[in-house]
Structure 1
Amino acid sequence: MNSSKKVFLVSFVGFLLIGLTIIFTLIQSNRDLLSQFQSYSVTIDNQSSYDVVSLELGVLTGADTYESVKMENKHISNDVIKSGEKKKIKPNLSLGGKEGGVYIGYVNSEGAVLKKGICSYAESLTGYSEVTITDKGTEVIENCW
């Protein structure tokens, strides 16, 4: 192999490695960008002093109330989310061709009940919500469609 081909080959491999490193870094730093296009998920970070002993995720459309949501539009789990634990859930929810929102309802080990909207507006149930439960309340980051 002559020297010009060696220089070309080394240069090509070098540029390829630099390009792949840049692409990998962009993907790592923009995971939120990619997460927006995946099916809807909820990450629950239980930073409270109590375990979450019952969890309900549901879809509200139109004039629905928490109590009127049909079972097929709910994800119910009795899996315990211990204090300090983080859990990602991909609920099987459907909007049925309508616009709506997603709520969370949970009961902690002290018996306290909370229901709160975690995706205020959705058309296709893609993206994610991050729910942080603390002793002072529940914080939500919405990035859903």
Structure 2
Amino acid sequence: MMKRRFFIGISIFLVGIVIAIGIGTISNILTPFKSFSLTVDNQSDDDISSIEIGLIDMDSKELFTSPIKKDHMKKFKPTLNLSGEGAIYLKYTDAKGQSTQETVCGYTEYLSGYSTITITNEGVTVVQQCN
């Protein structure tokens, strides 16, 4: 009787783990089809004082003024309006007042997927997975 309860408990635990892994896998598969998000990883020596995310050559942009401290990361979900196809830029301003603009999604039709930008003292790295 005790062995049976132990076996049932272990079985329930293992089924829970399999379900959790399955949900995580499905979430990762669907990420490129979710609304566009941008993660900014500030690995520079300066804080980032503002972030502007917008569509290149279109009048759709959003300004975020919550600072990103050095060695911190922040995720943004901009509300942009796109008709047709376009590209997404990021313009950031550091604590010294210097602004830099980078393309974070070279082509999009659906404003979906994600990009990650890493800002260092040496430059910027962009990884894009957008649609």
TM value normalised by structure 2 = 0.83
Query: d(CA) in 2 for partners of 1:48 and 1:30?
Result: 34
Structure 1, unpaired ranges of 5+: 1-6
Q: Does 1:112 align with 2:98?
A: yes
Q: Where in structure 2 are the equivalents of 1:27-106 lying within 5 Å?
A: 27-28=23-24, 31-60=27-56, 64=57, 69-70=58-59, 73-96=60-83, 98-106=84-92
**For residue 37 of structure 1, what is the amino acid of its counterpart?**
F
**For residue 111 of structure 2, what is the amino acid of its counterpart?**
L
Query: d(CA) in 1 for partners of 2:26 and 2:41?
Result: 21
Which region of structure 1 is more displaced relative to structure 2, 32-41 or 12-21?
Answer: 12-21
Query: d(CA) in 2 for partners of 1:108 and 1:41?
Result: 21
User: Helix, strand or coil for the counterpart of 1:36?
Assistant: helix
How many residues align? The count is 129
TM value normalised by structure 1 = 0.76
Query: d(CA) in 2 for partners of 1:20 and 1:129?
Result: 31
Alpha-carbon distance change, 55 to 40 in structure 1, aligned in 2, over 3 angstroms: same
- 1:113 to partner: Cα distance: 1.6
| Aligned twin of 2:110 | 124
- 1:28 to partner: Cα distance: 3.1
Q: Deviations over 1:40-87 (max 9, x none)?
A: 111111111001112110112xxx2xxxx42xx101122211111111
Q: Which runs of 4+ in 1 moved over 4 A?
A: 10-17
Which region of structure 1 is more displaced relative to structure 2, 114-123 or 15-24?
Answer: 15-24
- 1:30 to partner: Cα distance: 6.2
